[in-house]
Amino acid sequence: MKVSKAVITAAAPGQRTLPLQTLIDQDGEEKSVLRIILEEVLCAHVEEVCIVVCPGDEVSYEKVAGDHAGRIRFVHQPEPLGYGHAVYCAREFVGNDPFLHLVGDHLYVSSTGKGCARQLVEAAEAQDCAVSAVEITRESRLPHYGTVGGQRVAGSAKLYRVEAVIEKPTPTEAEQRLIVPGLRAGYYLCFFGMHVLTPTVMDLLHKLFNGDAGAKISLSAALAQLAQKEQYLALEEAGRRYNVGVKYGLLMAQFALALNGEDREDVLSRLLEVMAWREQANAV
C-alpha cells in the first residue's frame, strides 16, 4: 500500500477560522496553523492534498498556506452535516486509493526526529491496512475523543488490533468495552486526530448516510464497522496532539512548539522571568 493522498477537514462551524491562526513553529518561523499542518503532511511524502472547507473559505486558506497553496485542492461541505460527512465529501478526490486524514484544528509535536504523520504512514504502508493514530489518555478526557478497544499486536509495543470504536464514550462504556490489556487503570486509547484509511471507509460512510438521510454521522461509526470488515490497527504515536480549538488550546500548542523547537532556551528563560516576577509581586 502506498499513501500519496491526504484529506484535511476544516469545514465545521467552530473550526473554520482555527487553521488561519498564527503561531511560531519549531523552526522559529511565524506560520499559520494550516501551513504547519500542511508541512506535517508533506513530510510524510504525501503528493496530493485535499482540504474540505465551507464554501467561500478557499481564498482565506490559500493566503495562509504559504508556498504550499499550489498543492491544495479544495472540496466543499455545503451543509454542516458532521465529521463523517466532511470526510465523505472528499470521496471523488480519494477514489480507490488509501489516504492520510488529519483534522484542521489539531497540531502535532513528535518526540522523535520523525513527524507524527510520517510515523503513521510508514506503519500503514508496512502493515498494508488502515491505521489510526492514538494517544494514551486519562479517563477524564473521554468526552473529547473517539476511543478504541482491542489487543496489542504480538511482537509490537505500539500497535494494537482494533476491535471496538466508540465516539466520546462514557466512563462506564469505556470500562465495559474499551479496556486494552496492558494499559493502566483509568487510561484508554483515544484518537490522535490522524488516520490512514482505506477506500472501504468511504463505502461505509455512503451506506450510513443512505440509511439515515440527513443525520450527522460520525467518522467513528464507520471505523467501528471497518474493524469488523478488514484488518484495522491503532498506532500509539511517539508524540502529542494539541487541539487548538479548546480553551487555552492555542497557548498550549504554542508552548509545545516552542519548548520542542530551536528557541527552547530563550523561551524557558522568559518563562522563568515571568514566574520570578509573579513570585515577587505576590510577596509584596
> What was the pLDDT predicted at 274?
80
Give the helix ranges, DSSP H, for the chain.
33-42, 58-64, 83-88, 91-94, 116-127, 171-177, 200-211, 219-229, 249-259, 264-283
Query: Can you give the pTM of this predicted structure?
Result: 0.93
Q: How far apart are CA 11 and CA 15, in angstroms?
A: 6
* DSSP-derived pairing of the beta strands 159-167 and 232-236: antiparallel
Q: How far apart are CA 130 and CA 196, in angstroms?
A: 5
Give pLDDT, residue 284: 59
HSE toward the beta carbon, residue 188, CA cutoff 13 A: 31
User: Which structural domain range is residue 246 located in?
Assistant: 5-283
* Residue stretches of the chain with pLDDT short of 70: 213-214, 283-284
Average pLDDT, rounded, for the chain:
93
- Beta carbons within 10 angstroms of residue 155's beta carbon: 6
Q: Which three cell numbers stand for residue 167?
A: 465516539
pLDDT value of position 209: 87
The count of domains in the chain is: 1
CATH number for 148:
3.90.550.10
- For the chain, the C-alpha Rg in angstroms (whole number) is 19
Beta bridge partners of 108: 241
Q: What is the pLDDT of residue 5?
A: 98
